[in-house]
Amino acid sequence: MSIPFKSRHLTSAFPLQLQNRNLKSLKVTFAELRSIVESNDKQRFSMIPKSEAPTESTDTPVTAETTTASVTFDIDNDDPSNFLIRANQGHSIKVEEEGLLEPISLDSELPSIVVHGTTHKAWPQIVASGGLKKMTRNHVHFASGLPAGFELLAGSNDTTSEAQKEPVISGMRNTSAVLIFIDIRKALEGGLKFWKSANGVILSDGDESGLIPLAYFARVEERKRGVGILVRDGEVVNELPEALTRGGDGGRRGGRGGRK
């Protein structure tokens, strides 16, 4: 679908007249679109009335706080032309991060957990390439905690994290076999940029080559077969058995970076 947009603020970040001819051809109703935005388990989308959108002259950034309420609608307002919709993260089109995402800096409160989930099959490729690549996406995606069903390993430094009291729903698949924890402070000090999307996903476009170097991996854990720690403080300390790296748990988009 071709959607014209400018990229700085929400009014021009994927502005979509919901009467778009492409949507009309699918016979999608406004009620169905509202339901998708409200019920999407990973909260990938935001929708707000045009009247509440920042203008081009407004410097208000789009943060998690400003878009959280965007999935709640006035039940009496059924005119789709009065609303704007966009993806919170996962864009394939290049956009200006400063206009859509909340920047994370050394001066801000840093997330205590920044973790990327991947597969047994993808892990040797990550090591061989020297880190996580954003691949065809604009960013590598991270979660700020663990999904339901995951617990921190014994000896982890994150056992007091508030992030573990509520499982995350965005940023990492709950089928991930290998968990890559990033030292975000060290990465920021090294010049990498990070942002947080409206649905809580942490994003980075990596270094000049689109890479999150292995040096910023605080630790890497294998979680399905009891192998344990693979990387600690940027150093590989254990290898995956070859039988696991030949397995069939890879092959889905995002295994080496990309979207979650």
pLDDT category of residue 216 using cuts at 50, 70 and 90: very high
Longest dimension (CA), the chain: 59
Judge whether residue 29 has pLDDT over 50.
yes
Type of residue found at 187: A
Contact 101, 9 (CB under 8 A): no
- Co-location of 37 and 153 in the same domain: no
Q: Give the residue, 177 or 247, on which the prediction is more confident.
A: 177
Residue that terminates a domain, selected from 88, 123, 153? 88
What count of residues does the chain have?
260
Per residue in 64-101, pLDDT tens?
444 444 444 444 466 767 777 666 655 455 555 555 68
Instruction: State pTM to two decimals.
Output: 0.64
Q: What is the per-residue pLDDT for 258?
A: 57
Residue 164 lies in a domain: yes
Name 221's bridge partners: 179, 229
Task: Please identify which residue in the block is written with the tokens 């039988």.
Answer: 243
Q: Report yes or no on 219 lying in a domain.
A: yes
Q: Are residues 56 and 139 in the same domain?
A: no
Shared-domain flag, residues 74 and 166: no
Q: Could you report the per-residue pLDDT of 171-207, keeping only the tens digit for each?
A: 677 789 999 999 999 999 999 999 998 788 999 999 9
Instruction: Name the least confident of 7-16, 118-127, 243-252.
Output: 7-16
Per-residue model confidence (pLDDT) at position 25? 73
What are the backbone dihedrals phi and psi of residue 97, each rounded to the nearest 5 degrees, phi first? Answer: -60, -40
In a domain, 4, yes or no: no
Query: Structural domain of residue 237, as residue ranges?
Result: 103-245
Of 54, 88, 122, which one is at a domain's C-terminal end?
88
The DSSP line for 7-76 is: SSSGGGSS---TT-HHHHHHT--HHHHHHHHHH-TT--EEEEEGGGSPPTT------HHHHHGGG---TT
For the chain, the domain total comes to 2
